[in-house]
Every structure is written in C-alpha cells, then in structure tokens.
Amino acid sequence: MYKLNHKLQFRKSALFLWAALFCSSLQLFPVLVFAQGAGSDLLPDNPAGEWHAISRTRVLKSDEWSVLPDASVYSEYGLQRLHSRVYAKGTARATVEIFELRFPSGAYGLYTFNRGSLSPNRHEFHEGSYLVSIESGSIDKQLDDALAENIKKNFVVQSGNLPQLPYHLPQQNKIADSEKYLLGPEALARLKGFSGLKNVIKFAGGVEIVSADYQSAGGTMGLMIIEYQTPQTAADGYKAITKYLDSANHDAKENRILKRVGNYLVHAINVKDATEAGNLISQIKYDYKVYWEGRKMSDVPLEFRPPDPTLVEDANRTLMIMVRSLYWVGALMSGTVFLGLLAGGTFFYWRRYRRRKLGLDGLFSDAGGSIRLNLDDYLLEPRQSSVKQLGDGNS
C-alpha cells in the first residue's frame, strides 16, 4: 500500500472529465437539433394585439404535402415546406398558411397563379421566398392587418430579384392583377385558353411564361409571352406551336396570333381586332443579351461581369450555413467543456469531502480501487527486506 497519491486522484478525475465531455456532447446534440428546429418556426404564439395561437404549428415537408391538391403545381414553383397554424381573436378564427419556396421568383409565381381564384375570405401576399395565405371565418374579409404584418417580421427574407419577364407585358388596356407567371406544364394546363399547349411547350432549359388579359374590341383578349434562352430553342418552340395550331380544328386556331420577337414567342387568343392586337404586340421588345466567349471568367472584362443573382443567393446561403454551423459548434464545445469541468470538479471534491468527513484524508488510499498482490514477504528473505526501504534502510 502506498500513501495517498494526489497524481493518481487527479488522473482519475481527468478520466472522468473526458467521459463527462463525451456524454454531455451526446446529450447536447438533440438539444442543438431542437433549438434549430424551434428557431425555424415562422408562426409565433402571440403575433399581434388580441390574436393568439390556439393550435401548434404544423409543418409539411415535400413527402407530406405531395398528396395535397395542386401539389404538382407547388412542386413546379419550388415549394419546400408548408407551415400552418390557427389563431383566434375573441370569437374570430384565422388560419395562416406559409408556403416556403426555394426562390423569390417561385413565391411571386405561386402568388400570381392563385390570384383571381381565391375565396372571398382568403387573403394572400408574398414576401421574399414566402407566400402567406390567411383565411378567416367570416366572408366579409375582416382580417386584422396587424396579424399579417407581425407574421411578416419573422421571415428571413433572402436576397433575389423577381422575374423580369412580367415587366415586358404591355400596360395598355391590361386588366389589373390578371398577370400569371408560369414555370411548368402543370400550371399551364390550368390556364384558361392556353391549356392545350401543355404538351407542346417544353420547359427544359429555363423556359418561362407570363400571361395577362386585355380589354379588346368589347371583349377580353389573352396574351402570353414565352421566353426561351437561345435562338435555337425559340425557333424549335415556334415550329412546335405552329404545327399544333395547324393540326387543331377551326375553332381552336381561330382568332389567334403567334409571333416571334427575338427569343420571345408572343401568342394571343380571342383576338377580335387584328389591328389592335398587332399594335399591342408591337409594344413587346426583347432585350438582347451579350455573351462573352472565353475559357475562363477572367477572359470577360471586369466591367461586363454582372453578378448572377442565383449564384449570389447560393453563396449567401452557404455563408449563413457556415456561420450558423460554427456558432453552434462553438456553443456545443463551450457547453461540453463547462459541463465536463463542473462534473469532474464536483466528483473530485466530493470524494475529498467524503474522505475528510470519514477521517481518511491522511491515511492510505486504496490505489483507485485496484487489488494489490503483495508477495514480498514470501519471496524475500528477512535479511533482504531492506530492499523495500528508502535511503539507508533506517527510516
């Protein structure tokens, strides 16, 4: 047996410290995941005034909202998650749904797609990459604006520009709020008057469509602009639509105009006055884009390198993910070190306290609970017992 060895005691405490670090890190991991999930909640408990939540937030991911009506249209616009919650204000009730989309252009497109077909007690607006839909229990649309404004404050608005194609629609005689921005065949199939083009227009390669209604000759004329990214795809699209119109019956191709403007295809239906429709179409101008050839980005002069909004948005998103990851990793490490020190120190001083309380602090230790087999008295002669002593054997 040896005298109490503080180094041995410290080593045991250090070993316990590392074990506590490992265990606490495992315990903090689900806490970290929960904190990230809770921080992503877009619908607060008490958003404004007398409004308060009476249900939990329900979040549907892609594999869950795929069974909803118009799920194929949501997918075309880039829906990621659907958040919903019910609020109350006295006897009034309001259901708030937040469509979280991939890009702001998708939120704008879904907003235009739904516009005009909403029930009287439903109100929608878009903010960044989010489309917010509020449905009240009353038909008179008595919605508290403070509810929408305070919910809007919870959004992390991402950078990104709205599509420019809708700005190329002529403004003359255009019916207000009739624009629709389309990104796929499912939305096109639900567009009155143009649904027959669902299998004709190929949306591969970044094809975009915008349509609007115009007052013309006492009736309503539909106008569509189809944007292709290259002259070759625009020419192929023009041939496909022309072939479709030629094979259609007389009623289907009557009162229609198809014209190519640069990489745009302009298609008008329900044309009552060809001259008026021609003047309207002549207002559509295609903005030509100049592409610099080169093997590297440095081959393009610096002043002609406009930033790509998509790349900038992806870079900002990646940067934010890295910052959040480093923040939570730092918080995790700090928490584990703190808990480890607290647990290890508590265990060490608790043992010291117990030994002092029992009067064993100045006595011999049990060498950490190990078993020592002492064979010296059996293997050494009595005259050789001095080898176990320190110094000259007299102490």
Whether 34 shows a pLDDT value over 60: the answer reads no
Q: Kindly tell me if the per-residue pLDDT of 19 is higher than 70.
A: no
What is the count of structural domains for the chain? Answer: 3
Q: What angle do CA 268, 270, 276 make, to 5 degrees?
A: 70
Buried b (16+ CB within 10 A) or exposed e, 228-253: beeeebbeebbebbeebbeeeeeeee
Lowest mean pLDDT among 93-97, 145-149, 196-200, 212-216: 145-149
Task: Say what the pLDDT of residue 370 is.
Answer: 61
Confidence of residue 200 (pLDDT cuts 50, 70, 90): very high
Mean pLDDT of 62-86: 86
Residue 65 located in a structural domain: yes
Work out the average pLDDT over 329-358.
Answer: 89
Residue 287: the pLDDT is 78
Note whether 275 and 169 are same-domain residues. yes
Domain range holding 219? 163-289
DSSP 82-142: EEEEEEEETTEEEEEEEEEESSHHHHHHHHHHHTTS--TTEEEEEETTEEEEEEESSTT--
* Predicted pLDDT of residue 147: 75
- Asked if the structure places residue 96 within a domain, the reply is yes
Cβ burial of 192 (10 Å; 0-12, 13-18, 19+) is exposed
Coil, strand or helix: which one is 59? Answer: strand
Instruction: Considering only residues 206 and 2, tell me which one the structure prediction assigns the higher pLDDT.
Output: 206
Where is average pLDDT lowest: 23-27, 307-311, 313-317? Answer: 23-27
Contacts of 244 (CB under 8 A, 6+ apart): 196, 197, 200
Confirm if 79 and 114 have CB atoms less than 8 A apart.
no
Yes or no: say if 213 and 222 are a contact pair by the CB < 8 Å rule: yes
Phi/psi of residue 253, each to 5°?
-100, 5
Whether residues 142 and 211 share a domain: the answer is: no
Pair 52, 145 in one domain: yes
Between CA 96 and CA 172 the distance in angstroms is: 36
Indicate if 92 and 179 belong to the same structural domain.
Answer: no
pLDDT for the residue numbered 178: 92
Q: What is the mean pLDDT of residues 154-158?
A: 64
- Which band of pLDDT confidence, cut at 50, 70 and 90, is reported for residue 333? very high
Residue with tokens 């060809």, as numbered in its chain:
274
Asked whether the predicted pLDDT for residue 316 surpasses 90, the reply is no
> Looking at the structure, do residues 113 and 75 belong to the same domain, yes or no?
yes
Together in a domain, 5 and 54: no
Task: For residues 16 and 68, state if they share a domain.
Answer: no
Domain-ending residue, one of 261, 289, 317? 289
Using CA atoms of 337, 342, 345, 347 in order, give the dihedral in degrees to the nearest 10. -120
- Considering the domain boundaries, does residue 299 fall inside one? no
On whether residue 296 sits in a domain, the answer given is no
pLDDT band at 213, cuts 50/70/90? Answer: very high
Q: Who wins on pLDDT, 49 or 195?
A: 195
**338 pLDDT higher than 90:** yes
Q: Which of 12-16, 268-272, 331-335 has the lowest mean pLDDT?
A: 12-16
| Cβ atoms within 10 Å of 264's Cβ, excluding its own | 20
> Does 298 map to a domain?
no
184 and 281 together in one domain: yes
Same domain (yes/no): 255, 332: no
Q: What band does 375 get if pLDDT is binned at 50, 70 and 90?
A: low
60 falls within a domain: yes
| 327 shares its domain with 211 | no
Q: Pick from 129, 162, 195: which residue ends a domain?
A: 162
Considering the entire predicted model, what is its pTM?
0.62
List the one residue out of 256, 207, 212 whose CA is nearest residue 236: 207
Confidence bin at 291 (pLDDT 50/70/90): low
* CATH number for position 94: 3.30.200
Q: What is the mean pLDDT of the chain?
A: 78
Could you tell me what percent of the chain has a pLDDT over 90?
Answer: 29
The percentage of the chain sitting over the pLDDT mark of 70, rounded to a whole number, equals 70
Last residue of a domain, one of 162, 195, 227: 162
Please, which residues bridge with residue 349 across strands? none
Tell me, what's the pLDDT at 68? 78
The reply to whether 106 and 94 lie within a common domain is yes
Residue 294 lies in a domain: no
Residues 313 and 345 in one domain: yes
**Residue 220 belongs to some domain of the structure:** yes
Q: How far is residue 320 CA from its own chain's centroid?
A: 12
